[in-house]
Amino acid sequence: MTTPPTPFTTSLHEGDIVEENDFGSMRRVSAEHLPVLKNLSIKRLVLNPGAMRTPHWHANANELTYCVAGTALVSVLDNHSRFSTFIVTAGQMFHIDSGALHHIENIGDGVAEFVIAFRNERPEDFGLGATFGAFTDAVLGNTYSLPASDLSVLRRSTVDRKLAARSGAPEIPAVAHFDDPHTFDIEAQAPGLNYASGSARFARDQFWPALKDISMYSLRVAEDGMREPHWHPVTAEMGYVRQGQARMTIMTPEGRLDTWTMKAGDMYFIPRAYPHHIENIGSDEWHFLIFFDQPFPADIGYRASASAYSREVLAATFETHIDDLPDFPFTPADPLIVSRVNPVDA
């Protein structure tokens, strides 16, 4: 992984290789390589046709996944032997509880791609195949009421084989075509916020009860738009650039400013309550997937902040004569996205 220009961002496409072969690839950014991460980390999974992410579970993190491209079959074995299987396509999401056994299988003709957020800065995985390597033939034979010799034919190791190829055509149960509480079609939702300069769709617990400690915004901003300066009082923010070019500025408690540009494939992290803003600097709309470590994130924006205080308080705050203060518009609720009425800063 290359050294990021600031401690808050790096490229997910150039993240640490978890596994890469003819079946696809897995790359991740965790706190081991972006130490600022807390409560969140991110992974990119690419599956070639006929390939799968083998059955596994996460020991310390819930998972929230966005399907970027392709068609996949997902299976989940939850607590109390509750089994689910469902199909996801581009623009849809699914949620997996920590500890739940699950697999992801490309059942389409093209490449399937996923961006996966974890509710831990250092997620831990167990592969089902690798855990079979932890036990003897006799123990496994007793488990399945079989002779130990029947288990000796399995190739077993405690090293997880994360990517594998399917043999033959996919087996798709009829129930996989039904709605499932693990899934959410975020891009099919009407935008929760819709402005001339952008829109936002929300995957949060008010719409998707499966979410307990994580959520996501699908945020699009036009070339003349900007995410106004703001902060999130009780949640960190981790974003992935799906498309476009943007510039972000963040301020630390010590007064240090970090400003950087981002392109498709980059990710970033904003600690809880750090002020920041995102501006479109390209010629096209940008699309961000923004993950939060709370099921219902909230923010405080600068427009509403200026409306919260009298002009006397603001004049004292900025050491400015009251008559010289700008004519701040009264804003009882922040708009999230604003139009850029001034030229882009050099």
**Can you give the pLDDT at residue 284?**
92
Asked whether residue 11 carries a pLDDT value surpassing 60, the answer given is yes
Question: How far is 203 from 210, CA to CA, in rounded Å?
Answer: 10
Q: Which of 245, 251, 234, 242 is nearest to 67 (CA)?
A: 242
**Can you give the pLDDT at residue 306?**
96
**Can you give the pLDDT at residue 64?**
98
Question: How far is 222 from 32, CA to CA, in rounded Å?
Answer: 34
Mean pLDDT (the chain, rounded) = 96
H-helix or E-strand spanning residue 113: strand 112-118
pLDDT tens-digit readout, 93-135: 999 999 999 999 999 999 999 999 999 999 999 999 999 999 9
Backbone angles phi, psi at 132, to 5 degrees: -65, -30
**CA-derived radius of gyration, the chain:** 23
Question: How far is 281 from 245, CA to CA, in rounded Å?
Answer: 6
Beta bridge partners of 220: 199, 287
**Can you give the pLDDT at residue 307?**
96
Question: How far is 52 from 77, CA to CA, in rounded Å?
Answer: 16
Question: How far is 193 from 209, CA to CA, in rounded Å?
Answer: 20
Q: Which residue in this structure is represented by tokens 């697999």?
A: 103
Mean pLDDT of 232-240: 98
**Can you give the pLDDT at residue 1?**
52
pLDDT tens-digit readout, 150-201: 999 998 999 999 999 999 999 999 999 999 999 999 999 999 999 999 999 9
- pLDDT band with cut points at 50, 70 and 90 for residue 65: very high
**Can you give the pLDDT at residue 179?**
94
Record the pTM.
0.95
Q: Which domains does the chain have, with CATH numbers?
A: 9-184 (2.60.120.10), 191-339 (2.60.120.10)
Q: Which of 18, 3, 104 is nearest to 54 (CA)?
A: 104
**Can you give the pLDDT at residue 253?**
97
- pLDDT band with cut points at 50, 70 and 90 for residue 3: very low
> For a pLDDT cut of 70, what percent of the chain falls above it?
99
**Can you give the pLDDT at residue 117?**
98
pLDDT tens-digit readout, 269-317: 999 999 999 999 988 999 999 999 999 999 999 999 999 999 999 999 9
Question: How far is 292 from 206, CA to CA, in rounded Å?
Answer: 14
